[in-house]
Structure 1
Amino acid sequence: MIHNIIRDKPTRLFIFLGGFFIANAVIAEIIGVKIFSLEDTFGFTKASFTLLGESGLSFDLTVGVLPWPIVFIMTDIINEYYGVRGVRFLSVLTAALIAFAFIVFYFSIHTSAAGWWRESQVANGVPDMQAAYSQILGQGMNIIFASLTAFLVGQLTDALVFKKIKQFTGEKRIWMRATVSTLFSQLVDTIVVSYVYLYFSLGFSFPRVTAIAMVGYTYKFTIAILCTPLIYLIHAVIEKYLGREQAANMKKSAMEMQKIS
């Protein structure tokens, strides 16, 4: 029985896409505590502009945005071949796994550190390994609720917009349903995480949060456009793997499911 399941190409593809989807989402949550300078990273002159009365703004972003576009690309690919139900299933599963990961982080932080380990990296500039460990893994605790809420709302938005566009265009215009759905979902994701975390949790002013969100979304918008050709490449690889007939049947089945979802 299990051998037949593993040999089934659509099942193997779903496991691969789902695994990549979950891994990138979890990685993004864990590494997201670091803020990096986009300009400094690429050697550009540091931007310093004023938006909505907030001065000194630049492209200082969480490194969590680096793998996040892959999550939205996987969302569109999964939606294409497995329908909205496939996206919903993976989104809820991913949110549960992220929550589980941070529960494990919480308890691991609160275990008693061995004295020798606490001082083991002094020569490398880390005087207290326990403090460093707690700061890196524990800092994400402050944003986890906002992040998970934004993730679920963004994913459901992506699936819904993708579904509506595909019902209108059929199999044509892959770029439209993939890119537009991503742009909408990234906008929703940015708004939710920015206002829930920065405005309600940290008490930032409304103009400041709005300005920060607009800067972040500008980056996400640009990346979504640049990733559009990648959608076609992944489609081509999947079509070759499944075969045109099986791929067409899966997309037809996904589209029929979307009509009743």
Structure 2
Amino acid sequence: MTGFNRRQKLFLILSGFFLTNVLLAEFVGVKIFALEPTLGISPFNWNLFGHQGSLNFTAGVMLWPIVFVMTDIINEYYGKRGVRFLSWLAVVLILYAFLFAYLAIALVPADWWVGVMKDQGVPDQQAAFAAIFGQATWTIWGSVVAFLLSQLIDITIFQRIRQRTGERWLGLRATVSTLVSQFIDSFVVLYIAFVIGPQKWALSLWLAIGSVNYVYKGVVAILMIPVLYLIHMAIDRYLGHAEAEAMKRDALQES
């Protein structure tokens, strides 16, 4: 990577990790998993807004907390402009990825390929491929709108707290901005995808599932605070103290 200084190399690394996690979260999010059996514990049988059951989440919840940690790290060193650029780029790449996923689904499958996995419990691989990669249009748009809206809110809150606290309280501004933005993300995506979408969820179901997802994301966001500080320390060491402080000052002034 000759010709790149450390600021540029760091931005490429953080950007690549950020965008990879966003795209992975979009595609693996089609899977719904049960939390308690995954952890090997008995179901909690939660009862919320008149709905009862085990704790079910999309597999994307593994990755979204990482995305929001990366958002705060990039915001810290490159300011609002850097994160906004990556957020809009992520939206474009999400739509680009789903466009080609739909094109791949439309390709006529080879006859032998359709049943090649039947011995492994997949009698129709074309149907499985379409079900996994061909997410509903309402789900895609709900996810994109929720992601972009929550990102812009996260960026703004993070910088406003930073303007008042200076270099102190990294964990505070990262956690508060994430908790607020995750609240928006948790409810907006479900509302667009399932309330106004074709499934027409009852508002009580929307509130119940949105609340459970938000609590989970909030707990994970708090647990990620030590990781945030470790990444922050690693970046400062990589850049050198003087360069790191200069970048953070520039990011704050730009904001």
What is the DSSP-based 3-state SS (H/G/I as helix, E as strand, rest coil) of the residue aligned with 1:220? helix
Identity %: 45
- Is 1:11–2:8 an aligned residue pair? yes
Equivalent residue number for residue 105 of structure 2: 109
Aligned letter for 2:158? F
Match of 1:176, as an amino acid? L
So what's the TM-score if we normalise by structure 2? 0.97
1:31 aligned residue: 28
Instruction: Detail structure 1 runs of 4+ shifted over 6 Å in the superposition.
Output: none
- What do the CA deviations read for 1:83-142 (whole angstroms, capped 9, x no partner)? 000000000001100100000000110110110111111111111111111111113544
Question: Once the 2 structures are TM-superposed, how far is the Cα of residue 67 of structure 1 from its aligned partner?
Answer: 1.1
Is residue 244 from structure 1 mapped to residue 244 from structure 2 by the alignment? no
TM-score, normalising length: structure 1: 0.95
Segments of structure 1 that go 5 or more residues without pairing to the other structure are none
Q: Which runs of 5+ in 2 are unaligned?
A: none
Contact 2:36 2:55 in 1 (8 A): yes
Q: What is the CA-CA distance between 1:49 and the residue it aligns to?
A: 2.3
Alignment length (residue pairs): 254
1:179 aligns with 2:175: yes
Deviation at 1:3, TM superposition (A): 3.2
Question: In structure 2, how many angstroms separate the alpha carbons of the residues matched to 1:84 and 1:238?
Answer: 18
Cα displacement string for residues 184-232 of structure 1 (whole angstroms, at most 9, x for unaligned residues): 1111111110111121112001111011100110100100010011111
Task: Report the AA paired with residue 68 of structure 1.
Answer: W
Q: Could you tell me whether the CA contact under 8 Å between 2:46 and 2:55 is conserved in 1?
A: no
Query: Which of the numbers 195, 198, 204 marks the counterpart of 2:194?
Result: 198
Check whether the contact 1:51–1:57 (CA below 8 A) recurs between aligned residues.
no
Q: RMSD of the alignment, in Å?
A: 1.0
Structure 2 counterparts to residues 1-261 of structure 1, below 5 A: 3-4=2-3, 6=4, 8-54=5-51, 56-139=52-135, 141-201=137-197, 202-258=199-255
State the alpha-carbon separation in 1 of the partners of residues 221 and 200 from structure 2: 30
AA aligned to 1:226 is: L
Select between 42-51 and 101-110 the one with higher mean Cα deviation.
42-51
Q: Which amino acid aligns with 2:39?
A: F
